[in-house]
Amino acid sequence: MFDAAVLQGKRILVTGGGTGLGKEMAVGFAAHGAHVYICGRRKEVLDLAVAEIRERSRGQADALIANVRDPDSIEAMMSAIWADGPLTGLVNNAGANFLAPTESLSPRGYEAIRSTVMDGSFYASVACGKRWIAAGLPGVIISNLVTWVWTGSAYVVPAAMAKAAVHAMTMSLAVEWGPKGIRVNAIAPGPFPTEGAWDKLNPLAETGVGATQADEVPLRRFGKMDELRNLLIFLMSDGCSYITGDTISIDGGHHLAAPSTFAGLAKLSPADWQRAREAIQASVRKEKETRSI
């Protein structure tokens, strides 16, 4: 879909790029000419991921250990990267989440998710942004959100709240940093099964509902990693130079068919629809009989 050199010369950090969606994005960036950096909290996982990214992309990849919940750890990572040259792009991808009834969450449980998603995205964005601004360089920030920024979601309330905060950051920084040549966008994926997410969000047969079910997606399937890569490569490329401040869904229409909509009516037969129509019309007739004008 893209020229193999479309990201030549780019230097892109993907937080949480040692696993799941972040690793898949990193493969796409590196295969299209970028030097990718990934970070996370597990050295062995990162080392294996770097080897895999290099092999699958035939491109350049390096890893740094960093905890996005800790601003000092982010600063140390950025200093180490900048010592070899400035980044051109950042993907705020590191995330944390688990299913839990909200009334059961302790302050520490809430804090673990909020600090990873909201604080981590803020600290990493500012660490890059201040360096780009000081050097008069352009830059691109993309945050990996979820469609809950529009719909919310029960049983994952801290994650929905924190992602919504990063959605607000995206719109706000796009305006503040636009005049400095920094584009700030986000993506809102629907279900792309990964071990990390499914372990936390679909741990039992009984937890397989709506959010993690392919048959609730209008396109009737999960997302594919190539589809995710195509969007990320485009958003990161110079060809995307007039898009900023946007959060783009990539979910097969999932959030538009959310449980809060009438999506479940897909199961009605033509005979059911006929009975529904008769019932509605009967109600309208009854109301009409009592109209005064």
Ligand X SMILES: NC(=O)C1=CN([C@@H]2O[C@H](COP(=O)(O)OP(=O)(O)OC[C@H]3O[C@@H](n4cnc5c(N)ncnc54)[C@H](OP(=O)(O)O)[C@@H]3O)[C@@H](O)[C@H]2O)C=CC1
Ligand Y SMILES: CCCCCCCCC/C=C/C(=O)SCCNC(=O)CCNC(=O)[C@H](O)C(C)(C)COP(=O)(O)OP(=O)(O)OC[C@H]1O[C@@H](n2cnc3c(N)ncnc32)[C@H](O)[C@@H]1OP(=O)(O)O
Residue 22 binds to ligand Y (criterion: CB under 6 A) = no
Residue 93 contacts ligand Y per CB under 6 A? no
With respect to ligand X, which residue has the nearer C-beta, 10 or 163?
163
Q: Which residue pairs from 194-200 have beta carbons closer than 8 angstroms and sit at least 24 positions apart in sequence? A: 194/19, 194/20, 194/21, 195/19, 195/20, 196/19, 196/20, 197/20, 197/97, 200/97, 200/98, 200/99
Residue 178 C-alpha from the chain's centroid:
21
Q: Build a one-symbol-per-residue string for 49-78: x at contacts with ligand Y by CB under 6 A, - elsewhere.
A: ------------------------------
Looking at this protein, which amino acid is placed at residue 152? Answer: G
Distance, CA of 122 to CA of 169 (rounded, Å): 8
Give residues 192-251 in contact with ligand X (rule: CB under 6 A): 192, 194, 196-197
CA–CA dist 63, 82 (Å, integer): 14
Cβ 205 to ligand Y shortest distance, Å: 16
Q: Which of 146, 162, 236, 257 binds ligand Y (CB under 6 A)?
A: 146
Q: Does 146 bind ligand X (CB under 6 A)?
A: yes
Residue from the set 68, 78, 159, 228 that interacts with ligand Y by CB under 6 A: 159
Compute the distance between CA of residue 95 and CA of residue 198 in angstroms, rounded to an integer: 13
Which partner in ligand X, ligand Y, none is near 60 (CB below 5 to 8 A by kind)? none
> Which distant-in-sequence residues (6+ apart) come within 8 Å of 218 by Cβ?
252, 253, 254, 256, 257
When asked if residue 68 is in the footprint of ligand X (CB under 6 A), the reply is yes
- Residue whose CB is less far from ligand Y, 193 or 239: 193
144 binds, among ligand Y, ligand X, none (CB under 5 to 8 A by kind): ligand X
* For ligand X, the closer CB: 19 or 170: 19
Which string of x and - marks every residue 109-128 that binds ligand Y (by CB under 6 A)? x--xx---------------
Q: What angle do CA 14, 168, 255 make, to 5 degrees?
A: 80
C-alpha dist (Å) from residue 238 to 4, 22, 24, 59: 14, 21, 21, 19
Q: Is 97 in the site for ligand Y (CB under 6 A)?
A: yes
* Pick 140 or 187: Cβ nearer ligand X: 187
Residue 254 contact, options ligand Y, ligand X, none, Cβ 5-8 Å cut-off depending on partner type: ligand Y
Give phi and psi for 60, each to the nearest 5: -100, 130
| Amino acid present at 136 | G
- The CA distance from 32 to 263, in Å, is 39
Select the residue interacting with ligand X from 10, 32, 35, 69 (CB under 6 A): 69
| Region near ligand X per CB under 6 A, out of 26-34, 93-101, 178-186, 213-221 | 93-101
| Site size with ligand X, rule: CB under 6 A | 29
